[in-house]
Amino acid sequence: MSGSREMRLVLENVGDALFTVDAHGVVGAERSRASERFFGAVPASGSVCEWLAATDAAAAAWLDVSLGALWDDVLPVALALEQLPQSMTDRKRHFSLKYTPIYESGLHSVLVVAADVTSMVEQRRSDGVQRDVVAALRHVVSDRAGFEDLVSEVRKLLLRMLASPDAIEIKRVLHTLKGAFATFELQALAAKAHDLETMIVERERRPSADEMGELAGSWEIVDGATRSVLDLLRSRVAVPDAVLVGLASDAQAIGGSDLAARIRSLRCQTVHTRLARLADYARAVADRLGKPNLEVVCACDDARLPPEPWLPFWSALVHTVRNAVDHGIESPDDRVRAGKSPHGTLTLTARAQRQSFAVEVRDDGSGIDWERVRTSANKVGIAPVTPEELEQVLFLDCVSTATEETDISGRGIGMGAVREACEALGGRVIVRSVPTSGTTIRFEFPPADV
Amino acid sequence: MSKKIILVDDSVTARQQVKTALRGGDYEIVEAIDGDDGLAKIEQHRDAALLICDVNMPNKTGLELLNVLQDRPGPHMPIVMLTAEVQPDLLQRAKRAGAKGWIVKPFKHDLFVATVRKLVGDA
């Protein structure tokens, strides 16, 4: 293969735009195929400025005037090269530009290498916006009211900016936006506003609709990410813990012990949150076991419990829920054969009453097969006689009625753990099972714990 | 004998940067704080070897200053513009009004010194 053919193949296949520009600003005939793919066909005049102006008119004009300086031989070549444009963009694609002087008894031409860096620029931009989202969420949590003010101010300012024909007004709006963004550590947005402001100040040019739209688009991402969190928080009031404790002791002092207890309970977790989490878990287990569309009913009042002492009970209650879905509720086929709807229903209840606080897990399955419980007990050398003794077997770690041990249940450990956790809180467990109708496991606690 | 350089820039920081860059060389720096002050200093120091002139300034921009100088009888000292951003139109006009070239701020000290040396004939 001849040298020139080899070079031709290189130019046809290299990913970057490679071309030379001479002292008259004319593009050399030998150039890589990517050059035209990036910037379109070179015009008949061969003028680099005219050619690149279709992609980025400002960068092309800059290149034109700066290339001239290179051949003027007034500035040092190193400075003249450094002052050439280092990038260009048509806003959809971004290119980096590098220059190498070519000498042949004096400066002959400049080799220009343009690389498509669009994905890198976009990645950097999206990283910046993501950092702004994190900063925004931090402020939503620490200073919700302040952030809400920012949101309403920014929305108004952006509308004013996009609608204004007046560069001076746009500059003023951008300056205000920049300050507002910076106050909330939204660095990428502040930098973007600053760039647009600089464009007006130094180039005396009104930013284009696209350029302003880019700023508005980045704000939309931050606004959208924080909106759902703000909506959630808007219906709540955050009070420092110390204030709540002080309020409760004030109520106690004026003899309102009921009120004091209610105030103290605000520091506790709602039982509803716990039940909702268990309900999600039950549905997921049912799906995995081929018992789809499990209906989970949560019924509870606004009881609140201190998180610390109750944590072991809620953790252990998972076993009860799992057993109900795995062993209690039958497969869709079995349910249809028994004249039931194909999907089961699990009811999770938590209610505070005058005499007690009770949590119930009820399924509408086949009920406990007591004969199987007896057989399982016999296998490990236990011979229950009374119904009470038989019920106790359910809570023995070594006994499982499951026919096979799965990753979901079957080791017979869970029921013992939940009873232990219940009793640690001064509670007791009551089992009610009706053949073909289902099973209810009820945990009753003294009212003082609620 | 040290060479005289007239530096016209309304920014104290920019003037300080130029002075810092040129500290090692044998130069006498005459500072002016805006266009009008620049014209006065040029009148007083007609023997200066170089004029370094900012573009955006109060009381006559860099370009306005150049236009006034162009109408004055020579001899003319070489002029280099200092600019925060390349504005092709403006630089073309500055060139037509007598500027030899331009330096974009912020600049690298070594390149700045090399430029000054070349323009005052020290290179």
Distance CA A66, CA A397 (A): 84
Query: Do B89 and A85 lie within an 8 Å CB cutoff?
Result: no
Q: Parallel, antiparallel, or unpaired: how do β-strands A94-103 and A107-116 relate?
A: antiparallel
Query: Do A203 and B87 lie within an 8 Å CB cutoff?
Result: yes
Nearest residue of chain A to residue B112 (CA atoms)? A79
Nearest to A289 by CA among A242, A348, A332, A229: A332
pLDDT at B115 > cutoff 60: yes
Q: For A191-225, give one letter per residue: b (16+ CB within 10 A) or e.
A: ebbbebbebbbbeeebbeeeebebbbebbebbbeb
The two structure tokens encoding residue B48: 């200066």
- State the smallest CA–CA distance between residue B92 and chain A in angstroms: 7
Q: Is B92 on the interface with A (CB under 8 A)?
A: yes
From A61, A64, A74, residue closest to B101, measured CB to CB: A74
Chain A residues lying within 8 Å of B115, measured CB to CB? 75-76, 79
Indicate the average pLDDT of chain A. 87
What contacts A133, CB < 8 A, 6 or more positions away?
A221, A222, A225, A226
> Coil, helix or strand for A26?
strand
pLDDT at A11 > cutoff 80: yes
pLDDT of residue A408: 43
Q: Is A387 on the interface with B (CB under 8 A)?
A: no
The residue-averaged pLDDT of A406-413 equals 48
> Coil, helix or strand for B98?
coil
pLDDT at A450 > cutoff 60: no
Chain B residues lying within 8 Å of A82, measured CB to CB? 108, 111
pLDDT at A402 > cutoff 60: no
Contact (Cβ atoms closer than 8 angstroms) between residue A137 and residue A229: yes
Hey, which residues 42-61 in chain B have their CB within 8 Å of chain A?
Answer: 56
Q: Is A104 on the interface with B (CB under 8 A)?
A: no
Higher-pLDDT residue of A297 and A180 is A297
Query: Left (φ > 0), alpha (ψ -120 to 50) or beta: where does B83 sit?
Result: beta
pLDDT digits (tens, 9 = 90+) for A355-398: 788 999 999 999 988 888 888 888 888 888 888 888 888 888 76
pLDDT digits (tens, 9 = 90+) for A55-93: 998 899 889 888 888 888 888 999 999 999 999 998 789
Q: Parallel, antiparallel, or unpaired: how do β-strands B50-54 and B79-83 relate?
A: parallel
Determine the Cα angle at B113 with ends B107 and B119, to 5°. Answer: 110
pLDDT at A102 > cutoff 90: yes
pTM tops 0.80, yes or no: no
Nearest to A24 by CA among A43, A48, A44, A51: A48
ipTM of this model?
A: 0.87
Place of tokens 């350029």: A211
Query: Do A76 and B115 lie within an 8 Å CB cutoff?
Result: yes
CA dist A278 → A242, A281, A295, A300 (Å)? 31, 5, 13, 13
- State the smallest CA–CA distance between residue A197 and chain B in angstroms: 13
DSSP B85: S
Chain A residues lying within 8 Å of B84, measured CB to CB? 202
Q: For A121-145, give one letter per residue: b (16+ CB within 10 A) or e.
A: beeeeeebbeebbebbbebbeeebe
Distance CA A157, CA A161 (A): 6
Q: Is A339 on the interface with B (CB under 8 A)?
A: no
Contact (Cβ atoms closer than 8 angstroms) between residue A442 and residue A430: yes
